[in-house]
Structure 1
């Protein structure tokens, strides 16, 4: 179980003694197998009162490097780190708030507030949790941001004339994700009521039931390096005119591509061309597959399936050059793979009840070539497309 910090822990960790202790413990292996030895060494370094806090901080700082930018000196709780927005996603959201006065009403440890502080005209943060608030004060100071912070309930506004940023808690006390908007902390409906008429952006999980979102909201799905990370609900003056759904595809290299439902969505259903394209998950989750196809001159293989096809793929994506295709059975697929001497196979499935790992074991691949097979349903026909994946 994750360690539960208190304000005395945070005060110690912010002291020179605590900072030195975390630096020393950070040199330990910090693996599951070394846990007992690491704990003993931490107790030797700082004594029993703060050993667990120091050890947990060293572990969380190491874990944060895969998610946050330059957060080596930061303080975290396990839950706060799990919910923190990855750096490129936080900066993307902050750009839409640039030049405004912004109040982050659920600032937690300050991960989103850091990105906002870099571009906003002015900003403030608040949270009900005194531990996270103390951590945010430390973290923002580490980054050189002088942001006023206050302990306050997100459902009791303490600022006026600000754009409001909210990131409701999405895990219960057992660490399980909450999917029902009414179960968020604070509940989504209450946030919407309290800040009705205000410029408001609410960070949500991408699996949120969008049928329960106000029709005037702009729903933005954001992916990073091919993984859908979050949804944001933009309301009031923050919502783009005429846009109800937006997909934003970010890359760690700084690339950013967007598509909205304000664009045309006329695209044909057609026979397979030279290429298959699997749109980014943000495009699929936002319901913008047809808009994406229309933009890039592609067609749908089937109106119920997200795979697209055409004779030229969009630039900058991983697409699949079609080598052969036909009705899918395991026997016919095995024959196709032998014909192309495939020994390493990526299996993509949509619309069929197929376990890729179990199928790969049954195929007993023996060739030297590498390929991708796309298994899907065209109408009522299970179909296999043997392809070569290429970066366009």
Structure 2
């Protein structure tokens, strides 16, 4: 859970003395090996707030690739839950006017929202940090998310997903605030709720559209959109964002005609957002691909979609560990990426047991077609 900041800590960190201490100690290694020396140095510079200073320096290093606050203030839990800035920017584009962020925390979502947006939170420490991070131009107020203090604007919420002991919870009724409570409190408003991508969305029947979002191949969040924020005719959406290029999306409104065939020239492992949104068939239909098995998310075809990492199939057949070892030896494979879907196989344990000694590298996908376990030996390529 990290260090428990107080309002006095935040006031010190924002003061001239606190800023000077942070600047003086910015070069500390902050490693496990240097911990005692780091603490001694911090005690000398900031004897009454050394722990807060050290925690802030550590969190700023972690925050650099996630949020746009160069000299921000954070708690460990708040930073962990904070939205990566490219995802926050993407989400903000769906709002056409000011937004009330009712769980604004340290301000990571609020900073990306349209002009005129404002925030509230129950935690006074996080509100003080948000004030520092956002400046004085963004209105902030201490308020319970389930007791509306605004009218006539869209609402954004990001419920905490840890219990009082800091353990992660997947039960929406245990979120703070709970999902159904948010839906009831803002039943007359356009509402967007950020959730973990692993949540069972059947528990939120009030959501008009569920969007799964990935960034650089990692599924980052789900967003539940209601009323005017949802896209008419779209129940589910998968959005794939990349730091190095344009993103794309696929929705449930698109055709899902997709055959099931034997492995072709290419194997395609769809982005995790597509899989979690249940849009594998829609993605396949868009790109002229087929499924290997109607219950498995691997796709195949003569040509992969552009701009992805796909796998050119070298050979395929019935999977057994002994048989795979022989195949890999015949192809002189020494470095092996193992993909598994639909089989109970631990890739790391299998790799150790294979005891590969070759000079080449390859990818193997282990899956099933019907009840039959199969392997597909491939070469990974960027299309």
TM-score (normalizing by structure 1): 0.96
Note if contact 1:269-1:300 (Cα within 8 Å) is conserved in structure 2: yes
CA distance in 2, matches of 1:279, 1:89: 19
CA distance in 1, matches of 2:206, 2:261: 33
Cα displacement (A) at 1:17: 1.1
Specify the alignment match of 2:148 in structure 1: 157
Note if contact 1:197-1:236 (Cα within 8 Å) is conserved in structure 2: no
CA distance in 2, matches of 1:364, 1:5: 50
Specify the alignment match of 2:297 in structure 1: 306
Specify the alignment match of 2:52 in structure 1: 53
Once the two structures are superposed, the pairs formed by residues 371-382 of structure 1 within 5 Å of their partners are 371-382=362-373
Note if contact 1:26-1:59 (Cα within 8 Å) is conserved in structure 2: no
CA distance in 1, matches of 2:231, 2:115: 20
2:360 maps to 1:360? no
Note if contact 2:207-2:224 (Cα within 8 Å) is conserved in structure 1: no
What's the CA shift string for 1:194-247, capped at 9, x where partnerless?
A: 100211100001111111112552000001111111100000100000111000
Specify the alignment match of 1:319 in structure 2: 310
Specify the alignment match of 2:202 in structure 1: 211
Note if contact 1:220-1:248 (Cα within 8 Å) is conserved in structure 2: yes
From 128, 135, 140, the equivalent of 2:129 is: 135
Root-mean-square deviation (Å) = 1.1
Specify the alignment match of 2:189 in structure 1: 198
From 290, 304, 317, the equivalent of 2:281 is: 290
Alpha carbons of structure 1 residues 153 and 254: separation in structure 2 relative to 1, 3 Å: farther
Specify the alignment match of 1:95 in structure 2: 93
From 63, 73, 76, the equivalent of 1:75 is: 73
Note if contact 2:206-2:226 (Cα within 8 Å) is conserved in structure 1: no
2:66 maps to 1:106? no
Q: What SS class does the counterpart of residue 275 from structure 2 fall into?
A: helix
Structure 1: runs of 5+ lacking an equivalent:
none
Cα displacement (A) at 1:20: 1.3
Specify the alignment match of 1:223 in structure 2: 214
Note if contact 1:74-1:138 (Cα within 8 Å) is conserved in structure 2: yes
Specify the alignment match of 2:256 in structure 1: 265
Cα displacement (A) at 1:121: 4.0
Q: What SS class does the counterpart of residue 354 from structure 1 fall into?
A: coil
Structure 2: runs of 5+ lacking an equivalent:
none
Specify the alignment match of 1:345 in structure 2: 336
CA distance in 2, matches of 1:101, 1:88: 19
Alpha carbons of structure 1 residues 114 and 121: separation in structure 2 relative to 1, 3 Å: closer
Which runs of 4 or more aligned residues in structure 1 lie more than 6 Å from their structure 2 counterparts after TM superposition? Answer: none
Alpha carbons of structure 1 residues 255 and 239: separation in structure 2 relative to 1, 3 Å: same
CA distance in 2, matches of 1:82, 1:274: 41
Aligned length: 383
CA distance in 2, matches of 1:317, 1:26: 39
Specify the alignment match of 1:39 in structure 2: 39
TM-score (normalizing by structure 2): 0.98
Q: What SS class does the counterpart of residue 290 from structure 1 fall into?
A: helix
Q: What SS class does the counterpart of residue 38 from structure 2 fall into?
A: helix
